[in-house]
Structure 1
Amino acid sequence: MQNCPKCHQSVSSRAVTCPYCRTVLKAYGHPGITLHRAVGDTALCETCTYHADDTCNFPQRPDAQECTLYDNMNQHQLDTEQLRNTSPDLMHSLRLYCQQHPTLLGLLGLAAVSVMLTLIASK
C-alpha cells in the first residue's frame, strides 16, 4: 500500500487514480509506471540523476513538477555508501565462489585424486 500524495489516504499500489480525491497516481496510458511528483515548490529535476548528468530530454526540464523517469540521486548516494560499508566475510566469499564455479572445483578434485593415485602407485 502507498499513500496518495494529495490526500494522504492509503491506496493500492496498483491504483491508477486515488479513489478518494481522484488524483492521478500513474502515468497516462501506462498504469504500471509510477508518476513522481515534486513536494512543495522544489522541482524534481534538482535531485534527479538524469538532470545531473545532462541526459534528460524531458520538455519540462528543469522545472518539472511531475515525471515518470525521475531517479533520485540522493538514494543512489545512500545505496553506494551502504555497499561500501558492507564487506562480505571470507567464508561467504568462498561459498559464493564455489557456487558460481562448480565445474572448476570438480576438475581440481579430479586432478588432486589423480596426483594422489600416482604417488601411491609409484611407491
Structure 2
Amino acid sequence: MPECPRCHQSVSTQAVTCPYCRTPLKAYGHPGIPLHRADKNEYLCATCVYDDDNTCTFPQRPYAKECTLYCDRNRPVETKPTYTRSFLLKSWLRRNSGWFLLAALILLSLLWAISQ
C-alpha cells in the first residue's frame, strides 16, 4: 500500500485524500489522476522529460513541487512491440472472419446463380 507523503501513514491506492491528515493524494479529486510530488528541497521539473524537450505547459514550471504530468526522465521509455506481417494478417483475419465468410457466401451464391 502507498503511504501519505506528509504523515507517512498507509493509505488505500484509491484514496483521494489522506484519511489522517487530509493531504490531497490524487489530482482534482479523481482517483485516476496521480499527483506527483517533489521532495522538500527539490523541484519536479529538474527530472521531468517534458522540461528537457521544452514541451511542458504547466504554469509553475520550472519550480513545480506538485504536477499531474510528471514523467521521470530516468525511467526507461516503453516501446511498442513490432509485429510481423504474418501475425498482422492472422489477427486481421481473426477479427474480420465473419465479414470474410459473408463475402465468400455471397460470391458463391452469385457464381451458382450465374451458372444456372
Report the TM-score, using the length of structure 2 for normalisation.
0.65
Q: Which SS does the other structure have where 1:33 is aligned? A: coil
Structure 1 counterpart of 2:34, one-letter code: T
Does residue 36 of the first structure (1) align with residue 36 of the second (2)? yes
Name the amino acid aligned to 2:66. E
1:71 CA drift (Å): 0.5
Aligned-pair CA distance for 1:29: 4.1
Question: Any idea what SS the aligned residue of 1:3 has?
Answer: coil
- Is it true that 1:6 corresponds to 2:11 in the alignment? no
**Aligned pair count?**
88
**Which residue of the partner structure matches residue 72 of structure 1?**
72
* 1:17 correspondence with 2:17: yes
CA distance in 2, matches of 1:52, 1:72: 11
Partner of 2:49: 49
How high is the TM-score relative to the length of structure 1? 0.62
Distance 2:48 2:31 in 1: 22
Structure 1 stretches of 4+ with a deviation exceeding 6 A read none
Greater fraction of residues in helix: 1
Aligned equivalent of 1:92: none
Farther-moved stretch of structure 1 (5-14 vs 22-31): 22-31
Q: d(CA) in 2 for partners of 1:30 and 1:24?
A: 10
2:34, 2:75 → 1: CA distance?
A: 17
Gapped regions of structure 1 (runs ≥ 5): 84-95, 104-123
Q: Match for residue 112 of structure 1?
A: none
State whether residues 43 and 62 of structure 2, in contact with CA within 8 Å, keep that contact through their aligned partners in structure 1: yes
- Helix, strand or coil: the match of 1:51? helix
Identity of aligned residues (%): 59
User: Structure 1 or 2: larger strand share?
Assistant: 1
Query: C-alpha separation between the residues in 1 aligned to 2:90 and 2:27?
Result: 46
Aligned-pair distance for 1:42?
Answer: 0.8
What do you get for the CA RMSD once the two structures are aligned?
2.3
Q: Is the 8 A contact 2:16 2:29 kept in 1?
A: no
**Residue in 1 that maps onto 2:63:** 63
User: Cα distance, 1:20 vs. partner?
Assistant: 1.3
